[in-house]
Amino acid sequence: MKFAKFMSTPTGRWLRVIVGLVLILVGLLAIHGKKGIVVAIIGLIPFLAGIFNVCVLAPLFGGPFKGSDAKS
């Protein structure tokens, strides 16, 4: 539950955005070929989750899917 609460904070959102951007950049610039594209696509998940304030993994830890539904 602490994980879900942390991810619903502004710091958690920024962390998801930054991790997503790093994965996208690594996939496109450092890893070449199909593997790089796959890494970049995987990076879209945390990036978009941070932008739209949702946490894909939070329901697995007992938290809400939408960050705005989390009670701090």
pLDDT of residue 25: 96
Q: Average pLDDT across each block of 10 residues of the chain; the chain has 72 residues. List them in order.
A: 76 92 96 94 93 80 68 52
pTM for the full predicted model: 0.79
Neighbours of 22 (CB within 10 A): 13
